[in-house]
Amino acid sequence: MNDETPRRMEGTPTTLPAAGATPMMEQFIEIKAANPDSLLFYRMGDFYEMFFGDAEVASRALGITLTRRGKHDGQDIPMCGVPVHAADDYLQKLIGLGHRVAVCEQIEDPAEAKKRGSKSVVKRDVIRLVTPGTITEEKLLAPSESNFLMALGRVKGGAENAYALAWIDISTGAFRVSETTAERLAADIFRVDPKELIVAEPVFHDAELKPVFDMLGRAACPQPASLFDSASATMRIARFYDVATPDSFGTFSRAELSAISGAIAYVEKTQKAERPPLDRPEREQAGSSLFIDPATRANLELLRTMSGSRDGSLFKAIDRTVTGAGARLLADRLMAPLTEPQAISARLDSVSFFLAEPRLCEGLRAALKGVADMPRALSRLALNRGGPRDLGGLRAGFEAAAEIGQLFAGAMLPAELQAAFAAIAALPANFASHISSALGDELPLLKRDGGFVRSLYDGELDEMRALRDESRKVIAGLERSLIHETGIRSLKIRHNNVLGYYIEVTANHQDIMMGSDGAKARFIHRQTMANAMRFTTTELAGLETKIANAADRALAIELGVFDRLVAEAVSHADAIRAGAAALAVLDVSAALAVLAASEDYNRPLVDGSLAFRIEGGRHPVVEQALRRAAESPFVANDSDLSPGENGRHGAIWLLTGPNMGGKSTFLRQNALIAILAQMGSFVPAASAHIGVVDRLFSRVGASDDLARGRSTFMVEMVETAAILNQAGEKALVILDEIGRGTATFDGLSIAWAAVEYLHEKNRCRAIFATHFHEMTSLSAKLSRLSNVTMRVKEWEGDVVFLHEVGKGAADRSYGVQVARLAGLPEAVVNRARDVLHQLEEGEQSGKVDRLVDDLPLFSVAAKKEAPKPAKSDALGDALAALNPDEMTPRDALDALYRLKGLAGR
């Protein structure tokens, strides 16, 4: 829901109205009272109508007209509605705004209601609750994004509480569970990125956890505590999966059982009578994935930028998948990089295989492009929301799997791909053959439209279609048969609205039709005319009935075929999902190979050491952005945070340099390279040796949280505190400009102490960027700390950013030069130069407090700028000053630009 919408819709009665209300409105209010936290889509004919507060909220959210219908308690009843056929489009908008919708349908035939009286209301009830975490419709789901519903379980025991998370994607059947802690809770939630988090009411109102739920906003939804009861969880799980006991699923803690039970109970609550084919809960081991806190995820823009867009994110930069399932798997891997070197190596082996086999890679991707989203199609079918095209999606998946199997026959595959092809081989061949023979080539969207069963699949269906579509040909055939039988060449089969179909002969042929006992028995007299007689036969009467009912019967047969195919698909759900997951693995591995080949990525070495050595590293997003903008190529840089020869802990780099020099880009690229390596991707570097990072922290960029009373500096300090309190020796820490949000000496003191703490206590690998140049003296005191800087060149008062990282320390920040580049008025820039010069001199002589007297206000602005002296031969002088033998390639390029500038004057 959006911020203007309370949990209970204001203005909507939640008890039955007083006498005088219409029966229909009584029914609406009764159903609404049972669903106070949802907008009620109340079916009336071809529209879903909303009343009272629901109508007011929906009209604002959807931009539709608010009207009135009748009165309640003397007041007009607000009303608005949406057409049933377009309901998905409106649901998409409401769900996107965080609303929950209760869909109320007629559950009896109107004819039955009339039997109770002419004014009786057709029985209605909520058939489904549509919430952000439980949608399955293709229109409402982004193909490349998972749609997780998450449940938080908490069990009190002893001095501490135990926590667990269970998350389900109803659209695909994925079901996972993991233990967590209060400290890790936010990080584990944002790693999964659920669309909806359900929490027991007491937990939701726990003051200790309130900051976490505030971060989620409306995505966090309190539910009755009974849904999370760990004592009855085992029974609930067993009932849902129709097993005697869930012990075969694995051993789960009480907190995990509570979370699993809450997730299943919510699915049952929202899906009513329908049951999605969920996987059995799969446990994720704590510590099996890289810990990345929410602030770091936001700073690094893994799935979305800070503005919420996918464009500009790391995911967008690396995604080369060709299927929706493959894109979702890629996103899952990106959000949860591994920490086990062997598992990482197995993924890298798959990428290496496709790089070495470009023909197979190309053939695979061509075959995968025709694959529909099999898991989501299966879920829609199981929930009775699917259509013929969902069955067609399964068929396309089976056909692609068979084609891919033939393509890779005899290939020497790495372990991960071997497992994938084993799952593909286990797809139900009989069902694949059955669905292929049953479905036609052109499939309608809705099953009620018919025409999706292939000809020759069902004999009766073919007969009904022939009667429906070719009744004239059938009647003509019977007519020819009767002429041959009777010898009456003038015999005709005709039709009118009174007799229906009948046989007509001239009066002089009545002896043939009525003469013998056999003819009397066969031909039944219907009508005598002046010059003709009319008859029928049992066969003709039966044919007439069949023709009249052929369309209905044909559709009924097709619907029966559809139901049988759906039941068969659901019976093979586990194998189908496993095969679809295997196809997604192939898609991701091939996509990462394409990425590596097109972007010049290389395979990293990932092991259990503390190494962190990158040669020629590049920022994967910025590099592509520069190429699209046709700007200068990205400048690659090395980094080495590995322990020294006799060191036991990783190094710390203290990075100085000007604004716009590329410090933030360099910081982020090292973090992103670590993530890419541990998710199993090649990396944008000439080479990379990375000892597994177990925790990644990044504090880059400024932001505030004014809604929670936090200034930019407070947010900075909170995030820094989290880093210093949690980072261990296997962590990677990226910090930028700590202390800049407060007074200079305060900020310097905090930054100084933070670096010392990282060195002595955390002992982690870290890059610390700062403008406090005084901190460079720490390198003499801290053995693992090294000074590096972003190199620049100055030319006639201007600064040229080289974007190169080199050893040493910057002696200044070039802020005035950057201000000039930004377009500040020349008078301001000149004034700033004078102030800076005198401040620097005053600081050195201890006379900073007297500088105000020496710098009268606007003194520089009031001066007329003297013309610069003309240069007799500036170009010649500059050229004569060059010494090519002592110049690096970069120096030569810079000199060339300077000479070009002089030549243009």
User: Is 679 within the bounds of a domain?
Assistant: yes
**What is the mean pLDDT of the segment spanning 320-324?**
96
* Residue 803 and residue 654 share a domain: yes
Domain boundary among 790, 821, 852: 821
Q: Is 664 annotated in some ligand binding site?
A: yes
Yes or no: say if 394 and 188 are a contact pair by the CB < 8 Å rule. Answer: no
Residues 112 and 162 occupy one common structural domain = no
Average pLDDT over residues 544-550: 85
User: Based on the number of CB atoms within 10 Å of its own CB, is 731 exposed (0-12), middle (13-18) or buried (19 or more)?
Assistant: buried
- Is 7 a member of any domain? no
With beta carbons less than 8 A apart as the criterion, state whether 132 and 196 touch.
Answer: yes
Report whether pLDDT(770) > 50: yes
323 plus 382 within the same structural domain: yes
| Co-location of 394 and 501 in the same domain | no
Q: Does residue 18 sit within a domain?
A: no
Q: What is the pLDDT of residue 520?
A: 66
Contacts of 75 (CB under 8 A, 6+ apart): none
Q: Are residues 721 and 696 in the same domain?
A: yes
692 CB-near residues (< 8 Å, 6+ apart): 339, 340, 341, 344, 606, 607, 608, 678, 730
Q: What is d(CA 487, CA 483) in angstroms, rounded to the nearest whole number? A: 5
Query: How many structural domains compose the chain?
Result: 6
Domain stop point among 762, 796, 821: 821
3-class secondary-structure state, position 406? helix
Cα–Cα dist 461/158, whole Å: 67
Query: Distance between CA 123 and CA 105 in Å, rounded?
Result: 9
Q: How far is CA 46 from the centre of its chain?
A: 32
Structure tokens that stand for 359 in this block: 């023909």
Angle CA 704–706–708, to nearest 5: 110
Angular region, 58: left φ>0, alpha ψ -120 to 50, beta rest: alpha
User: Is 661 marked as binding a ligand?
Assistant: yes
- The whole-angstrom separation of Cα 894 and Cα 905 is 17
657 is known to lie in a ligand binding site: yes
Band (678; pLDDT cuts 50, 70, 90): very high
Least confident of 533-542, 692-701, 735-744, 854-863: 854-863
Same domain, 617 and 590: no
Let me know whether 117 and 152 are in one domain: no
Q: Is residue 296 part of a domain?
A: no
Are residues 795 and 718 part of one domain? yes
Residues 510, 525: Cα–Cα separation, whole Å: 10
pLDDT at 219 > cutoff 50: yes
pLDDT in tens, 140-193: 888 999 999 999 999 987 657 899 999 999 999 999 999 999 888 999 999 999
Q: Residue 618 belongs to a domain with what CATH number? A: 3.40.50.300
H-assigned helices in 487-572: 510-514, 517-522, 538-571
What does DSSP assign to residue 716?
A: H
Residue 852 confidence (pLDDT): 47
Domain that holds residue 901: 869-905
Whether 71 has a binding-site annotation, put simply, is no
Q: Is pLDDT of 857 > 70?
A: no
For residue 212, CA distances in Å to 97, 203, 240, 722 come to 20, 11, 30, 14
At residue 530, the 3 state secondary structure works out as coil
Q: Is beta strand 765-769 parallel, antiparallel or unpaired with respect to 652-656?
A: parallel
pLDDT (tens digit per residue) in 472-489 = 888 899 999 999 988 999
Q: CATH code at 586?
A: 1.10.1420.10
Question: Which residues are registered as beta bridge partners of 154?
Answer: 163
Distance, first Cα to last Cα, the chain: 62
β-strand 291-292 against 695-699: which pairing, if any?
parallel
Please indicate if the annotation marks 497 as binding a ligand. no
Q: Is 542 annotated as a binding residue?
A: no
Residue at 333 is within a domain: yes
Same domain for 696 and 613: yes
CA dihedral 29, 34, 35, 36 (to 10 degrees): 70
Of 103, 130, 157, the residue that ends a domain is 130
Give 661: exposed, middle or buried? Use CB within 10 Å, 0-12, 13-18, 19+. Answer: buried
* pLDDT value at 257 more than 90: yes
- Same domain for 640 and 710: yes
Query: DSSP 3-state assignment of 490?
Result: coil
**Looking at the domain assignment, is residue 389 inside a domain?**
yes
* Dist. CA 805–CA 304, nearest whole Å: 28
Task: Please tell me whether 579 is known to bind a ligand.
Answer: no
Q: What CATH number should be reported for the domain holding residue 67?
A: 3.40.1170.10
In a domain, 610, yes or no: yes
Averaged confidence pLDDT in the chain: 86
- Whether 649 maps to a domain, the answer reads yes
Q: 155: domain CATH number? A: 3.30.420.110
Residues 765 and 895 reside in one and the same domain:
no
Please check whether residue 172 is in contact with residue 577, taking contact to mean a CB–CB distance below 8 angstroms: yes
Q: What is the pTM of this model?
A: 0.83
Reference 256, options 285, 220, 215; nearest CA is 285
Angle between helices 815-822 and 826-845 (to 10 degrees): 170
pLDDT band at 604 (very low <50, low <70, confident <90, very high): very high
Q: Which position has the higher pLDDT, 243 or 904? A: 243
Q: Is 11 known to sit in a ligand binding site?
A: no
Regarding whether 795 and 694 lie in a shared domain, the answer is yes
User: How many CB atoms are located within 10 Å of the residue 45 CB?
Assistant: 9
